[in-house]
Each structure stands twice: as C-alpha cells, then as structure tokens.
C-alpha cells in the first residue's frame, strides 16, 4: 500500500468511527425533524427554531452565539490544531399552505417547510453531534451556522454584517447542502457556477380607475399588466442567446377588488435567474423597457415603479474543494449514488459566507424522495408531475434514508475538510 492509499484507508477508518453512533441518534433526530416541520417560522422570525438549536448546541458543549443577523445561531467546537470549517443550514419556512397530509404537517396556517430547511437544520445538528462525540478522530475547529432569512436573500449577509466571523473565527472552508427532489440516498453536485443569481422585482403599474361599463373613461391597469406579463415572456426567447441561460417568471399579479370596478393600479412580482453579469444586465434592462413601454402604449399618466426586492449572487463551487468532497462521497456512498446535476436555476445565499471569508465553498444536494416512487415516475417520464419540487405545498420528503444521508454527507464532508482535503 502506497502513502496515498494508506491516507485514504486511514480517513475511511476515521469516518467510520465518527459515524458509528448515528444509528443510536436517528430516533431523536427524527423527532427533532417532526417538531420543526410542524412548527415552521417565516424569514427572520425563526425564534422558536433558534431557541431549540441553541439549546441543542449547548448540550453538545459548543460555544454558542445567538441573535446573529436577527435570529441566527452559531456554535463553535474547538478541538486542537487544524483547519476551521463552517457548516451551514438555513432555518426559515415559506408562506405556503401545506397539503402533504403528513401526521406531523404544519400547525401554522399559511406557513410550511416547503423547501426542506427543517431537514437541513436536523441534519446539521446530527452531524455536529457526531463530530462532538468523535473528537478523538479529528482535529481543528468546526463552526455550525444556522441561518435565518434564506428565502428572502438577506440572511447570510445579515449574519456576516453582524460580526459572525469576529465571534466564531474565520473559516478555511465553507460547506452547505440542500434537500432536492431526487431519490433519497443520492447526492447531487456541480463544480463551478452551480446555482443561479436571483433578482426579484416589485412592479406597480398605474392606470385610471372607473366603472366597468365605461372603460373608455379609464386607463385599465389590468389589461396593461396582462399585456406586460405576455410581453415579458419574449425576453428569454428573443433577447438571450441560445447558449446562455436565463429564467424570467411573473410569480404574482394583483389588481382590483370587484368585477364592475376598473382599479387604479396593478402590481407584479418578477423573479429573474441568471448565471452571468452580462445576461443579468440584459434581462433587467429588457424588463424595465417592457414595463415602461407597455404603460406608455396603454396611455398611463404615471410612469411605473420598479423596486428591487430579494437578490442572491451566483453560487460558485470551488473546483478543487468540490472534487475532493465528491471523491469522499463516492468512497462512502458508492459512485452510482453521486451524480453531477449540472447548473441549477434555483438560488442560494450560502456562497456569501465563503466570499466574505475568502474561503472555498462546496455545496451539494441530497435526495428526499422514495426511491421506488421516483424510479416509477422516471420510467414513465412523469417526475415533473409526480415528484413535488421545492416550494410545492406537497413537498414532503421521506424521513429515511433522507435523514441518514443528510447527516452522513455533512459529516463526511466536514471530516474531509478537517483533514485538509477540501
């Protein structure tokens, strides 16, 4: 056995030792997940979740800081010399009414963990517990970060601006993961630009109200908004090159309150996803031109208002760190369970931690859907219809092997980085 093979064997042995207690932790972690799922909290209102997380970290003997960026929590586990590795989970839920029918479904009307953040929190707590129990198998410092406000794009920045690194130390590597509509037990990754940048816009279009029976006396903002929505669909198809990627979605349109009243204004909310600054500028300029142009054509007497809302940068996975982490995943889970998903048009602000620290980032996905159900849908080409995606009111991952996979993946990635491999 050469030196490289010996090192790999030694690392595999250390991983096995650290992961050994997981079987005894599963029951407690599953209950943590069920409680979190039943009690979702919206962005920057994660008070109950933050208290539960802080209490759990204190029981592990970690040095805990609360109130970071509002409701963020960070715990530090120092264990001698070695790299400092930041492990991140987001905590917030979405304003979605749950329709999964699960016995532990949301008890909060109009709020739901429809994106898996409850699973992210649970898996990170599990990984930190394994690392705390297995300190004889690694050295260095682990920072567990539980972030608020990911869904509105401000949580990571808020924690950094609030002095996260001054309180925890500056990491040498940043690791994060996200639940995805993939078969449970699988890991997805992509090196380089992995998740898109997002720009969310709020648009107000102003007409002149009147009676529905006399539209000639009004400037109808409903028609103005409808025309704008349809025209916006041409931005990607007619202004973005075929070898570039952009997504433009009008996610909300609000106007009027009664059938026989033409309202004074209409509101749109627009989501834009891009990977390059050139494409981003092109799409934003096109949106502004179309919104203003449609208002002018309709005879609006007041120019529309376009207000930026959420914004996320492109998430870029470090090539070398990703290669080393993926090699460790393949070694542990098997090559068939680890797939390159390609770039994903969803967005994430986890990369802000890495950028602010000047550290490499590795961010991956883990599946949450019953493998047999997923395989059946894939066989009939109906995964888009039959496998609920993130943000769906039917988003309800199977507890196992999802939980075990998420805890294991975060632990394996952490140990790889602590060994100086990521």
Residues 318 and 174 in one domain: yes
Give helix then strand counts, H and E, for the chain.
14, 16
End-to-end CA distance of the chain: 23
Residues 122 and 213 in one domain: no
Q: Last residue of some domain: 261, 286, 312? A: 312
Closest by alpha carbon to 189, among 321, 279, 87, 91?
321
Closest by alpha carbon to 89, among 49, 30, 130, 55?
49
Q: Last residue of some domain: 312, 333, 363? A: 312
Instruction: Retrieve residue 249's tokens.
Output: 């979605």
């204004």: which residue's tokens?
265
Tell me, what's the pLDDT at 205?
Answer: 98
User: Any idea what the CATH number is for the domain that residue 202 is in?
Assistant: 3.30.70.360
Catalytic pick from 90, 92, 118, 129? 92
362 annotated ligand-binding residue:
no
Q: pLDDT tens digit string along 296-342?
A: 999 999 999 999 998 899 999 999 999 999 999 999 999 999 999 99
Residues 189 and 327 in one domain: yes
CB 415 within 8 A of CB 15: yes
Residues 162 and 235 in one domain: no
Report residue 19 CA to chain centroid gap. 26
Phi-psi region of 347 (alpha: psi -120 to 50; beta: other; left: phi over 0): beta
**Rounded CA separation 406/179 (Å):** 8
**Rounded CA separation 180/186 (Å):** 10
Respond yes or no: is residue 92 known to be catalytic.
yes
CA angle 163–353–335, rounded 5-degree value = 150
DSSP 319-365: HHHHHHHHHHHHHHH-GGGEEE---BS---STHHHHHHHT--EEEEE
151 annotated ligand-binding residue:
yes
**Rounded CA separation 37/105 (Å):** 7
**Rounded CA separation 89/117 (Å):** 7
Residues 125 and 67 in one domain: yes
Residues 56 and 182 in one domain: yes
Residues 203 and 304 in one domain: yes
Tell me, what's the pLDDT at 1?
Answer: 56
Closest by alpha carbon to 90, among 160, 177, 162, 21?
177
Q: Last residue of some domain: 312, 329, 345? A: 312
Domain total of the chain: 2
Prediction pTM value: 0.92
CB 347 within 8 A of CB 197: yes
Residues 271 and 407 in one domain: no
Residues 145 and 50 in one domain: yes
Respond yes or no: is residue 150 known to be catalytic.
yes
Residues 93 and 167 in one domain: yes
Q: Which residues of the chain have pLDDT under 50?
A: 422
**Rounded CA separation 78/60 (Å):** 12
- DSSP, collapsed to helix, strand or coil, labels residue 174 as strand
Tell me, what's the pLDDT at 11?
Answer: 80
What domain range includes position 114?
Answer: 3-195+314-418
Residues 269 and 323 in one domain: no
Residues 170 and 48 in one domain: yes
């Amino acid at each position: 056995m050469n030196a490289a093979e010996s090192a790999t064997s030694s690392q595999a042995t250390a991983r096995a030792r650290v992961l050994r207690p997981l079987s005894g932790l599963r029951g407690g972690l599953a209950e943590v997940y069920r409680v979190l799922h039943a009690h979702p909290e919206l962005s920057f209102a994660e008070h109950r979740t933050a208290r539960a997380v802080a209490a759990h970290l204190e029981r592990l003997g970690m040095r805990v800081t609360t109130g970071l960026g509002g409701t963020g929590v960070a715990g530090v586990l120092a264990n001698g010399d070695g790299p400092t590795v930041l492990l991140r989970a987001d905590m917030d839920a979405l304003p979605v009414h749950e329709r999964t029918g699960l016995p532990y479904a949301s008890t909060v009307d109009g709020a739901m963990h429809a994106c898996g953040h409850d699973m992210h929190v649970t898996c990170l707590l599990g990984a930190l517990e394994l690392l705390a129990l297995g300190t004889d198998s690694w050295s260095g410092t682990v920072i567990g970060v539980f972030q608020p406000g990911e869904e509105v794009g401000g949580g990571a920045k808020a924690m950094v601006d609030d002095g996260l690194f001054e309180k925890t130390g500056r990491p040498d590597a940043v690791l994060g993961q996200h639940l995805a509509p993939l078969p449970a037990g699988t890991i997805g990754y992509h090196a380089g630009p992995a998740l898109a940048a997002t720009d969310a816009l709020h648009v107000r279009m102003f007409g002149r109200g009147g009676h529905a029976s006399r539209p000639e006396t009004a400037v109808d903002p409903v028609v103005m908004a409808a025309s704008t929505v349809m025209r916006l669909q041409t931005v990607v198809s007619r202004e973005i090159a075929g070898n570039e990627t952009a997504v433009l979605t009008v996610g909300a349109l609000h106007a009027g309150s009664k059938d026989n009243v033409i309202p004074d204004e209409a509101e749109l909310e627009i989501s834009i996803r891009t990977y390059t600054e050139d494409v981003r500028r092109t799409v934003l300029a096109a949106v502004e031109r179309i919104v203003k142009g449609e208002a002018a054509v309709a005879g609006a007497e007041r120019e529309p208002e376009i207000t930026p809302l959420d914004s996320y940068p492109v998430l870029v996975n470090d090539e070398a760190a990703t290669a080393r982490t993926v090699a460790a995943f393949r070694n542990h889970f098997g090559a068939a369970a680890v797939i390159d998903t390609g770039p994903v048009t969803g967005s994430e602000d986890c990369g802000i931690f890495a950028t602010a620290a000047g550290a490499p980032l590795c961010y991956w996905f883990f599946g949450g859907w019953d493998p047999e159900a997923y395989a059946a849908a894939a066989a009939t080409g109906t995964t888009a219809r039959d496998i609920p995606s993130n943000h769906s009111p039917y988003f309800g991952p199977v507890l196992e092997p999802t939980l075990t996979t998420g805890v294991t993946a975060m632990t394996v990635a952490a140990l790889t980085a602590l060994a100086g491999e990521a």
